[in-house]
Structure 1
Amino acid sequence: NLTEERNQLQTSYNNMTQEKNQLQAEIERLRGKITELTSQICPDGWTKFNSSCYFISSGSKNWDESRQDCLRRGADLVIINSREENSFLKNFGLRVWIGMSDLETEGEWKWVDGSSLSYTSWAKGQPDDAREGEDCGEVRPERDGWNDLFCTHNQQWVCEKKTCLGVEI
């Protein structure tokens, strides 16, 4: 009786192991499909990171012109919400406009969507409002952080648009 029960248990175990392996193979197939589909989410010339697409300009414009360019692309200047997103942007090694300013109220930095800065990564001594006119924000990798700068300065910028899928792999 015990031998028969042991054999039944062994058969059940073998069947479950086989089903588990089939499920793992299906999970891997679906992950591959998700990767394939998400790689098609961002337009040509844009880079996907987490649930957003990013466009890094090749030209230089002032902050307002940069923002207008993003808006024409169906996006806006990038809003940095996390250390990971900040690192992603810093890894490009470029000084770029980002979507924050204190244009409305001096010293009250806000993102282009009107939200307050819940995450910050100011470079040491920043923002300093040098010569009382630095009202727009940039990523400045060589200073290892964000910097305030005159909005009329021309430089590259980064646009961000959320993907329709919030899929993270």
Structure 2
Amino acid sequence: MDCENGADTSTRKRKLCRLVVLSFALLCILQATLNISLRLAFYSSDTTTTPDCEAIIKNLTKQQDMKMNELACYIQQGWIYFNHSLYYVSSTKNTWNDSREDCLQRGADLVIINSREEQNFIREFKTRTWIGLTDAEKEQTWKWVDGTTLTISFWDTDEPNSLVRDEDCAEIYFYRRENSWNDTPCGRKNVWICEKKM
């Protein structure tokens, strides 16, 4: 009896082993079929989107070409490119308001200084110049021409001081120093710098 029972158990184990091997083989075949199907699906979707990708690339290239042409045009008109902005330095002097009006007519505005690098770049023009900063709306609340409040500043020592009545406009005065800003009356005549973001 024990011998028959042992043979029976051995046969069951072999059948179970074959079933496991067969199941594993079927799973491998199923996995391979799924991989092939998915690759074919991705390949066919890639080929259908290729013309769209090419169109996007062509469009980007056209946009870059247009930007380069626009940039070249501005540079021919005397604008200077620095750090994603164009700058125009006037050759004459005017009041702060008239200077701003000139910038607006050029599709720009008086320069807004957002960093130490930009401050040092503007100082390189080595002239007393208007910047787009004023407290005309509310005394001692300095705002840029785009309406943003002053966060980084380069005022000279003891500036702004409203030493003379109604010193509501900011200028670069002490251009040899990094902290070169001065407040002065807006009716004074200075060179000005326009800035146009690219």
Normalised TM-score (structure 2): 0.62
Structure number with the bigger relative contact order (C-alpha 8 A, sep ≥ 6) is: 1
Shift of residue 125, structure 1, vs aligned partner: 1.1
Residue number among 151, 174, 193 corresponding to 1:118 in the alignment: 151
Q: Distance in 2 between matches of 1:136 and 1:152?
A: 9
User: Where does the alignment leave 5 or more consecutive residues of structure 1 unmatched?
Assistant: 1-32, 164-169
Larger of the two Rg values belongs to structure: 2
Counterpart-to-counterpart distance in 2, 1:98 and 1:68: 13
Q: Quick one: which amino acid aligns to residue 158 of structure 1? A: I
Letter in 1 for 2:187: T
Correspondence 1:148-167 to 2 at 5 A: 148-163=183-198
Seq. identity, %: 46
Within 1, Cα distance between the matches of 2:117 and 2:93?
Answer: 25
Aligned-partner residue type, residue 81 of structure 1: N
User: Which structure features the higher share of strand residues?
Assistant: 1
Q: Secondary structure at the match of 2:74?
A: coil
Between 64-73 and 137-146, report the one with greater CA deviation: 137-146
Task: State the SS of the aligned residue for 1:103.
Answer: coil
Instruction: Report the RMSD for the aligned CA atoms in angstroms.
Output: 2.0
- Cα deviation, 1:19-41, whole Å, max 9, x if unaligned, reads xxxxxxxxxxxxxx99xx38526
Higher helix proportion (structure 1 or 2)? 2
Does 1:55 find its partner at 2:88?
yes
SS at structure 1 position matched to 2:102: helix
C-alpha offsets along residues 66-87 of structure 1, whole Å, 9 cap, x if unaligned? Answer: 0000000000000000000000
- Unaligned runs of 5+ residues in structure 2 are 1-63
How many residues are aligned here? 130
**In structure 2, C-alpha distance between the alignment counterparts of 1:126 and 1:132, rounded to whole Å:** 14
Cross-structure match for 1:167:
none
